[in-house]
Amino acid sequence: MGKAVKKGDLPTKICATCGRPFAWRKKWAKVWHEVRYCSDRCRRNRGRAGASGQDT
């Protein structure tokens, strides 16, 4: 067997909507260069101010 990759060693990106970091997922392996959002919710809410649902 190959070496297991630790979660802390996975590549990360910053979500374009909420600004939170998110890590690589196996289902994104072929399209990682295209991934911009951490979740479907952020993808749906792109371009909206305050999309995270938090009031300041």
Please say whether the beta carbons of 18 and 41 come within 8 A: no
What is residue 54's predicted lDDT score, i.e. its pLDDT?
Answer: 56
pLDDT digits (tens, 9 = 90+) for 7-32: 778 899 999 999 999 999 999 999 99
Q: Which of 17, 13, 11, 2 is nearest to 35 (CA)?
A: 13
- The Cα 48–Cα 36 span in angstroms is 15
pTM for the predicted model, two decimal places: 0.68
Q: Which of 19, 11, 54 is nearest to 39 (CA)?
A: 19
What is residue 15's predicted lDDT score, i.e. its pLDDT?
Answer: 96
Please say whether the beta carbons of 5 and 29 come within 8 A: no
